[in-house]
Amino acid sequence: MSRVGKQTILIPKNTEVKFSAGSLDVKGPKGNLSKKFKDVVEIKIDGQNIILVPKKDDLQTQALWGTYASHILNMLEGVNNPYVKKLVVEGIGFKAEVSGADLVLNVGFSHQVKVPIPAELKVVSEKNILTISGADKEMVSQFAAEVRSLKKPEPYKGKGIRYENEVVRRKQGKKSV
């Protein structure tokens, strides 16, 4: 049994929720989100509450019950308070800047790396700190992970792109006799 799915979800003020034809639309002051859900869990909107009820009693439905509840909670949170991920670009000559709809990175390659920024996200670069924000938690986290994967932090000098609160385990390196 899902502990998350059993709980009723309270809809915050200034937020509209509509469910029709398997699609949940959430509209809030900071954005709009829409997501398709399978028909294995019934989603009921009762005034200011959302109730999830599984239609079957099998393992997959039980798993999706809690997952859907988490997705709906993330959607409600995102349209009211956008999600934020911060990345630190660390290294001599390493820099990141936003030009138009692209993120341009100089991270030690022979060429600049251009990453297209999704339209739903807002990216700001200040003193080698990238701030990625948006209403969709999955999209913010996925874009941050893709940018980080371009140049992961290395263990000897710590150069690369890392999350703001990520701890990079450092190695000692060569010893001179």
Longest CA span, the chain = 74
Interatomic CA distance for residues 174 and 168, integer angstroms: 18
For the chain, what is the mean pLDDT? 91
Q: What is the percentage of the chain residues whose pLDDT exceeds 90?
A: 62
Q: What pLDDT is recorded for position 3? A: 79
The third-level CATH classification (topology) of the domain covering 83-163 is: Outer Surface Protein A; domain 3 (3.90.930)
The third-level CATH classification (topology) of the domain covering 3-80 is: Outer Surface Protein A; domain 3 (3.90.930)
- Residue 89, pLDDT > 90, answer yes
Q: What pLDDT is recorded for position 115? A: 95
Interatomic CA distance for residues 115 and 132, integer angstroms: 13
Predicted TM-score (pTM) of this structure: 0.88
Partners of 151 in beta bridges: none
Q: Which two tokens stand for residue 108?
A: 């030690």
Q: pLDDT grade, residue 36 (50/70/90)?
A: very high
Identify whether the C-beta of residue 84 lies closer than 8 Å to the C-beta of residue 59.
no
For 74, phi then psi, to 5°, come to: -65, -40
Q: What is the rounded average pLDDT of the residues 148-173? A: 90
CATH 3.90.930.12 residue ranges for the chain: 3-80, 83-163
Q: What is the rounded average pLDDT of the residues 87-100? A: 92
Q: How many CB atoms lie within 10 A of CB 61?
A: 16
